[in-house]
Structure formats: structure tokens, C-alpha cells
Amino acid sequence: MESYNCLNVRVDKFLWLFANKALEITQEAIEEDNEGFIIRTYQDIETIKKQLESYSKEIEVLMQEKICLEFESQILKNQDWITKYRDSIQPIECEKYYICPPWFAPKEDKINLIIEPALAFGSGHHGSTFGCLEALNSLSLENKRILDVGCGSGILAIAAKKSGGEVWCCDTDEMAVNATKNNAQKNNLILDKVFLGTLDKIANKKGYFDVVVANILADIIVALPLDSYVKDGGVLILSGILEKHTKKVLDKFKNLELLTQNNHEEWVTLTLKKR
């Protein structure tokens, strides 16, 4: 084809949710920037816009906040925009972890996490993902049992597995489960259990895990019995929490001891210990 559709999406809140939704809708790579993201596709732009507008209304109801969503579309002459997209993705370091796309060379002195951005719901750049990696870095995970709830790209599960843990993970989005499996394969790993669904599928594993990590929205965090899957003396890591919702989450898990609270931009990561 001689041309393609280019859709610039600007959103003033919950950018990562909209980027994830765009990945789900198009199943193609997107390029993120500070105020939004760019979709380059041969698909119909109007259909994509309508789906994002509908999703925006759902998020407004869920979060009870007004969202400003804007679009700018154009038809451009074809070029190697996959290469351009790849050039826009840079590796990042978080303590002992080095997160990079497959086309970057690993670092010998780091635990390398190879994450394919075109598949990812988390590449370490987002404040909540970075906060979870910091929390995992602070723990000794060797021979520990770890559960990643809402695994997304699999970045946290892969970090835990490469740190010596027995790792289980789940997501309610089939695309995320597939992304986790694909990224694990790129890291030459076999995760101990990856499944589609939520905690009700492993109800017999309450009190089984040394560490439970959940990088999901605050409203979902408080609706799930995450602490019941942590054994006594174990750790619960929670993120995807906007600063204004911190108290709500802490109130839900008030029977746990707060070990650390890290803030990155507007996102909070909590590390709690089950007594």
C-alpha cells in the first residue's frame, strides 16, 4: 500500500489505560509520547475513534472524572514506520533490573527483562510498573512463591522468575495472557502457571504465596481478597493507585503493616506485610 492512516490521540487522564485499549483494539504497535499516542494502521480510523470514545465514557463512569479525549487524523505516504516506532523505545534501568526491547543488547551486570513493546501492557516506563519493580528488587525472592494478579505484559512475573521465585500469574484479558507467555518465551523462561481469569480460579491457594503483586486500578484492588492469598509474614505489593485513592486502599488492608510507600508521578506503590 502507498499510504496508511495516522491517528494522533490526546488524553488528559489515564493515558496508560487508553494506550492499552488501543493495543487491544488494533493489535498493532503504537507510539507513545507525553500527552498521548500515535496509531499507524491500515484499519479504518473512524471505527477506532468510536471504540476509544465509548471506552472513555466507561472510564468516566468508573473513575467519576471527566476525561478530555481528542483526535487528529491524517493519511500519510507509506514509510518504514515500524522502524521509526522501534527507534522511539529506549531501555530503562530499575535497581538490578534492565528492561529492554528484543533489539537491544542485554547488560551483563543486570537482570535483563526482554519485553516486546508491541505486545506490552507494561514496559517499565509507567510509574506504577517502575514502583512494583522497585518493590520486588527490595525483596529476596529466591525459592519464594509469587503471584502476579493482572500480569499484563508479564514484566513483573518475569522479574520475579529471574530473581529465583516460583511464579504464578493471571489476567482477565486474553491478549495480556498471551503477551505474558510470549515475553516469557523471549526471556527463555517457563512461568510456573499462567492463566486467564482471576483469583476465584485458585481459591484453594489462599495463604500459599510469599509475595502477591497487583498492578491494577484501585477500585479493583479493594474489590479483591488479595491479602487472603498471602501467607502469614508474607508481602503484598499494590500499585496502579492514583495518589488520591491511597487512603481507600490502605483502609481496605488496614490489618497489614505498611512497609513502604513509593510515589512516581501521580502513581503510588504500597508494600505491606501480613502479620
The number of residues making up the chain comes to: 275
In angstroms, the first-to-last Cα distance of the chain is 61
pLDDT at 88 over 80: no
Cα–Cα nearest to 161, from 232, 201, 111, 118? 111
Whole-number Cα distances in Å, 58 to 38, 53, 180: 22, 9, 26
**Amino acid at site 259:** L
* The pLDDT of residue 117: 67
Q: Which residues contact 247 (CB under 8 A, 6 or more apart)?
A: none
Q: Quick: pLDDT tens for 149-178.
A: 999 889 999 999 999 999 999 999 888 899
* The pLDDT of residue 54: 95
145-149 and 166-171 beta bridge pairing: parallel
| Max intra-chain CA distance, the chain | 63
Pairwise CA distance, residues 100 & 113, whole Å? 6
Which secondary-structure segment (H or E) carries 100? Answer: strand 97-100
pLDDT at 121 over 80: no
- pLDDT tier at 85 (50, 70, 90 boundaries)? low
- Average the pLDDT over 180-190 and give the result: 94
Q: Quick: pLDDT tens for 188-197.
A: 999 999 999 9
Q: Which residues contact 258 (CB under 8 A, 6 or more apart)?
A: 250, 270, 271, 272
Residues 265 and 240 sit within 8 Å (Cβ to Cβ): no
* The pLDDT of residue 24: 82
Pairwise CA distance, residues 112 & 131, whole Å? 17
Q: Quick: pLDDT tens for 187-228.
A: 999 999 999 999 999 999 999 999 999 999 899 999 999 999
Q: List residues bridging with 72 in a β-sheet.
A: 8
* The pLDDT of residue 119: 44
**pTM for this prediction:** 0.75
Which secondary-structure segment (H or E) carries 75? Answer: strand 69-77
- Average the pLDDT over 48-69 and give the result: 94
* The pLDDT of residue 143: 97
Residues 177 and 184 sit within 8 Å (Cβ to Cβ): no
* The pLDDT of residue 217: 87
Residue in the structure block whose three cell numbers are 466507561: 58
Percentage of the chain surpassing pLDDT 90? Answer: 68
